Amino acid sequence: MNFKGKISTAALLLATVMLADSHLEAGAQAVAEQAITTQKKGVTTVQVAAKTSMKASKAQAVKTAAASDLIPAIIKRVSPSVVGIIGEAASGDYRDGSSNGSGDNSASSDKGMYDLAHGTGVIIKSDGWIITNAHVINGIDNATVVTSSGKEYTIEESYIDEVSDLALIRINATGLKPAKLAPDSRVTQVGDKVIALGTPVSFSLRGSATEGIVSGLNRAINVSYRLIQTDAAINPGNSGGPLLNMQGEVIGINSMKYEAVGVENMGFSIPADTVRYVIHQLFQYGEVLRPSLGLELEEGWSAEIGLPSNDPLTVISVNSAAAKAAGIQEGDVIYKLNNTPLSSLVDLNEMLKKFKPGQTVTLWMQSKGDIVKHSLVLTTDRSSESDSGDN
Same domain, 161 and 177: yes
In a domain, 29, yes or no: no
Is residue 104 within 8 Å of residue 139, measured between CB atoms? Answer: yes
Same domain, 155 and 131: yes
In a domain, 24, yes or no: no
CATH number at residue 298: 2.30.42.10
Q: What is the DSSP string of 134-146?
A: HHHHHTEEEEEEE
CA dihedral over 19, 21, 25, 31, signed as positive or negative: positive
Number of domains in the chain: 2
In a domain, 317, yes or no: yes
Give me the half-sphere count of Cα atoms (radius 13 Å) on the Cβ side of residue 255: 32
pLDDT at 194: 97
Is the pTM higher than 0.85? The answer reads no
Same domain, 270 and 327: no
User: Largest alpha-carbon pair distance within the chain?
Assistant: 139
Enclosing domain of residue 321: 290-381
Is residue 99 within 8 Å of residue 57, measured between CB atoms? Answer: no
Tell which residue, 143, 161, 130, has the closest CA to residue 85. Answer: 143
Which of residues 260, 285, 310 is at a domain's end?
A: 285
d(CA 192, CA 246): 8
Which of residues 285, 314, 335 is at a domain's end?
A: 285
Same domain, 205 and 279: yes
In a domain, 276, yes or no: yes
In a domain, 114, yes or no: yes
In a domain, 73, yes or no: no
pLDDT at 181: 96
Same domain, 198 and 327: no
Which of the residues in the chain have pLDDT under 70?
A: 1-68, 92-114, 259-262, 382-391
CATH number at residue 226: 2.40.10.120
Return the CA Rg of the chain: 34
pLDDT at 67: 59
Which of residues 255, 285, 315 is at a domain's end?
A: 285
pLDDT at 42: 52
Same domain, 303 and 272: no
Residues noted as catalytic: 135, 165, 239
Q: What is the DSSP string of 302-366?
A: HHHHT----PPEEEEEE-SHHHHHTT--TT-EEEEETTEE--SHHHHHHHHTT--TT-EEEEEEE
Torsion angle, CA of 317/319/323/329, rounded to 10 degrees?
A: 20
pLDDT at 64: 57
Same domain, 87 and 206: yes
pLDDT at 212: 96
Same domain, 360 and 217: no
pLDDT tens-place string over residues 246-277: 999 999 999 988 766 567 778 999 999 999 99
Same domain, 275 and 296: no
pLDDT at 359: 95
d(CA 352, CA 363): 13
Same domain, 368 and 265: no
Same domain, 259 and 121: yes
Q: What is the DSSP string of 50-94?
A: HHHHHHHHHHHHHHHHHHHHHHHHHHHHHGGGEEEEEEEEPTTT-
In a domain, 9, yes or no: no
Same domain, 109 and 256: yes
In a domain, 338, yes or no: yes
pLDDT at 206: 87
